[in-house]
Amino acid sequence: MDEKLALAHALSRAWQAGELTTGDIELPGVEIAGHPERPELVHPRKLKRRSLHTEEGRLAMIHAVAHIEFNAINLACDAVFRFRNMPDAYYDDWVQVAKEEAEHFVLLRERLQEAGRDYGDFPAHTGLWDMARKTAHDPLVRMALIPRMMEARGLDVTPGIKDRFESAGDAPTVAALEVILREEVGHVTMGSRWFHYLCEQRGLEPEQTYFDLLAEYLGNEIRCPLHKEARREAGFSERELERLEAICKSR
């Protein structure tokens, strides 16, 4: 675990120093990402719901967000190494994301440790890496479904989580979530940038392509409410927001 965090920072330093190449390399199959022995990984439906009105429930929620950030390191690194022949600015973005996700994880892990817990003490889900495997064949699909769908959903739910920790008087966790929300807007913005870039390269209309992919991979399983302000800042158009809300209302 600590080695992965150190390597995320080393990747950033090496890229900034010009020590890495973006040329073609032999890549292994994207099946299993490096992960510590704990936490136990289960299907999302098998995770117990915990009340944020209890300390145990709040720690479980901190752990859940920490798990997302830990997996996001894998996702950012995979976006760097998986997809060749992109502009250097693409690698600039996703190397930066890997570093920032490592920093987010540390913020949350420190909150667990201050309460006598650690990452791995609660079970966690496999959803993020499952989606990485499904999108390993195409950077356009990856940009649409990881940053512009799964991470964008994080923009929607984080303010409500932050408010509940604020009500519980947990100022340090609130501060950590504020940092994470601010920087995750940037990560979704990067996803929007490269999704639109790839659509332009292929002569595809971005909005319809995005919704076609949501239907194909998710069956239009969209959840609301949307954090419209954050999504606008992250590159979503008004028309996209209207269509997402319409899907929510139709289900």
Express as a percent the part of the chain with pLDDT over 70: 95
User: Per the CATH hierarchy, to which homologous superfamily does domain 2-12+39-250 belong?
Assistant: Ferritin, core subunit, four-helix bundle (1.20.1260.10)
Angle made by CA atoms 8, 9, 11, in degrees to the nearest 5: 65
Q: Tokens for 18?
A: 């010009």
Q: Pairing state of beta strands 41-42 and 124-125?
A: parallel
Read off the pTM: 0.93
Of 89 and 219, the one with more pLDDT = 89
The 10s digit of each residue's pLDDT in 91-105 is 999 999 999 999 999
22: nearest Cα among 94, 74, 75:
94
Of the pLDDT bands very low, low, confident and very high (cuts 50, 70, 90), residue 33 is low
Domain residue spans in the chain?
Answer: 2-12+39-250
Helices (H), 136-170: 139-145, 152-167
Task: For 229-243, write each residue's pLDDT tens digit.
Answer: 999 999 999 999 999
Rounded to whole angstroms, the Cα distance separating 67 from 61 reads 10
pLDDT tens per residue across span 153-212 = 999 999 999 999 999 999 999 999 999 999 999 999 999 999 999 999 999 999 999 999
What is the Cα–Cα distance from 213 to 220, expressed in whole angstroms? 9
Closest CA to 59 of 68, 47, 50, 46: 50
Q: What's the average model confidence in pLDDT over 120-147?
A: 91
**Residue 178: helix, strand or coil by DSSP?**
helix
Residue entry with tokens 């600015």: 89
Q: CA 41, 166, 105, 31 torsion: positive or negative? A: positive
The DSSP H or E segment spanning 187 is helix 171-202
Helix (H, G, I), strand (E, B) or coil at 84: coil
For 48, phi then psi, to 5°, come to: -75, 140
Band (pLDDT 50/70/90 cuts) for residue 143 is very high
What is the average pLDDT score of the chain?
Answer: 91
